[in-house]
Structure formats: C-alpha cells, structure tokens
Amino acid sequence: MPPKISTALFGDRAQHGLAVRPDDPHWIEWQTRSLEFYQSTQRSRFGFWINRLGYRVLSTIDLSGKKVLEVGGGDIRHCEFWNGMPQDYTVVDSDCKMLDCASESLQKRGISARRILLPRKWHEMTDLDLPASDVVVMFYCLEHLHPLNMYVEKLAATLSPGGVLVGAVPCEGGIAWGLGRLVTSRRWLRRNTDIDPDKIICWEHPNFVDTIIETLDVYLSREYLSFSPWRIPNLDANLIASFVYSKRRV
C-alpha cells in the first residue's frame, strides 16, 4: 500500500512510531479531549451500532456468581447482553475519567466495583496487584495496549483455570475500518481540536487486529472468533472482531 494511503488510513507509523510521547503537545491536548471525543463519536447512532456488534458475544458467557475483571470498560454499555449477575467486579483503566464513568454505570445497576488505575508504561505494571478472575472482559481495549504481549500475559495470569477472556476489537489495520475513520474520527479531530490525527491514531491504536489475534493465541486457547458485520473471515471487509479465549488447564 502506498505510504500516502497507508498514512491516511492508519496514521503515520513510520514517522511517529507506536509508543506514546507523553510530552508531545498533541498528546497532552488529547488527554483533555479524549472523553469528549468518545462521547461524541461512540454515542452517535453509527458509533453505538458498531459497539453493539462486539458486545453481543458477552451473551454467550455465564457471569452468574463469577469474579469479573474488566479492562477499559468505559461506561459499561454492554450490560444489556449480560447473562447472569457477577459476584465481584473490578474495573481497570488508564484514565481516571473512564474509571469514573464505569463506576457510575455499575452503581446504577447496584454493583459496587473495585477500581484500579492501569499505568500506561509497562514497567510500572509489573507489580500491579490484579485480582484473580473467572472472566476478563476487554471490549475495544487491546488495540490500545503497548507492548501488547506483556499486557496479555499479565492479564491471562489473573484467570483461574478454565476462566475466559471475552471481548472485541476494531478491525484496525483493515481497509473498511480505516475508511470509516476518515469520515468520522479524523473529521471530528480536525473540526474540534488542534490534534494531528496521524500521531494520535498511531499512539492510541498501536495494534492491528491480526497482531491482537496472534498474541491472544500465544497465551490462551481460542474458543470463538467472529467478524462483523459480514461474518466472513476477512479483516479488510469487516469492522469488528469478537472473541472468547479460555485459560489452559494444567
């Protein structure tokens, strides 16, 4: 793919890399505008429809009496697909505002959740105390974590034998997703901020969907993988990949 087209679809990865530069002015502005961005784009009719494509997989998991750990929960909009009521719930996020949204949403449903702030730098996570879990929930989160393999290994270790990791990711790196972003996220950033999308796309979505699937396959056993909206296994044609992985029994 020519660099000009690749940059338009997936950001300028050759120039900006995948690791966040915390002192970059565009990143600093993004930290103050990200919640507004997500509320403006993901709560639109189209954004809501896309998210629900992934949330549906949660209905296949029995949450009754389970210890659940959710990473990057946002406002927990997948509750309509819950199958049973968890015994214990922990929410993990790298943004305090997102933790507030998750806690408030769960409280409305009568669930008191433990909150854990996830460090963006891997070396700060090595000593992070994550509770043992029966279910790890990760919707639209794995595309953000860098370096991916280290986070997945840490999260897989929290699962009890036979426990499952369930979630979904955008088909980042696919043509359909890149084209959709051209007319949605990029347009919003240009209209409302001084942020360079070519930087933020790289740093917010460092992981392409094929890399995410390959990494999950290393640490867990694949139980289910599906693509939406077309359900054919083509990353360029689809928008969302949903999955269920289980912890290998010793």
Question: Residue-wise pLDDT tens for the chain (250 aa)?
Answer: 888 999 999 999 999 999 999 999 999 999 999 889 988 887 667 778 888 999 999 999 999 999 999 998 888 889 999 999 999 999 998 888 889 889 888 988 888 889 998 776 655 566 678 899 999 999 999 999 999 998 899 899 999 999 999 999 999 999 999 999 999 999 999 999 999 999 999 999 999 999 999 999 999 999 999 999 998 999 999 999 999 999 976 6
- Which residue, 232, 184, 177, is CA-closest to 205? 177
Q: What range does the domain containing 164 cover?
A: 46-172+201-246
43-73 per-position pLDDT tens digit: 667 778 888 999 999 999 999 999 999 998 8
* 97 belongs to a structural domain: yes
* 207 belongs to a structural domain: yes
CA distance 174 to 171: 6
* 79 belongs to a structural domain: yes
* 16 belongs to a structural domain: no
* 223 belongs to a structural domain: yes
Please tell me the predicted confidence (pLDDT) of residue 133. Answer: 96
CA distance 184 to 165: 29
Please tell me the predicted confidence (pLDDT) of residue 157. Answer: 93
* 214 belongs to a structural domain: yes
Domain count, the chain: 1
206-235 per-position pLDDT tens digit: 999 999 999 999 999 999 999 999 989 999
CA distance 10 to 164: 30
Q: What is the CATH number of the domain that holds 168?
A: 3.40.50.150
CA 217 from centre of chain: 17
Sheet strand arrangement including 221-228: 114-117, 88-93, 67-71, 133-139, 159-170, 240-246, 221-228
* 188 belongs to a structural domain: no
Mean pLDDT across the chain: 91
* 229 belongs to a structural domain: yes
Angle in degrees, 0-180, between the axes of helices 25-42 and 45-55, rounded to the nearest 10: 90
